[in-house]
Amino acid sequence: MPTYTIHDAKTNLSKLIARAEAGEEVVLARGKEPVAKLIAFSAKPKAKRKFGALKGKIKIGPEFFEPLPEEELKLWE
């Protein structure tokens, strides 16, 4: 794990971020004492949706299938 001083990190932040994005862990130190670790942020993968997961949970009344009034249809133009 490479270690950089805070001054070096300020100067080369873009390069250090690129290294972290590539999967490398970068340690930042104040003098010789490590104070922080720069790692890539990984978003939590989205769970796949299951077909029919909302079955029985959503109610649609019969008015849903009726034509929209003319005044509302004009608003969609």
What residues does each domain of the chain span?
A: 3-38
Give me the tens of pLDDT residue by residue for the chain, a chain 77 residues long.
Answer: 789 999 999 999 999 999 998 989 999 999 989 999 999 887 667 788 889 989 999 999 999 999 999 999 999 98
- Whole-number pLDDT of residue 43: 62
66, 67, 72, 74 alpha-carbon torsion, rounded to 10°: 170
- Whole-number pLDDT of residue 41: 84
With a CB cutoff of 8 Å and minimum separation 6, the contacts of 23 are 40
DSSP class of 64: G
Would you say the pTM of this structure is higher than 0.75? no
Q: Compute the distance between CA of residue 32 and CA of residue 34 in angstroms, rounded to an integer.
A: 6
- Whole-number pLDDT of residue 35: 97
The answer to whether the beta carbons of residues 69 and 75 sit under 8 Å apart is no
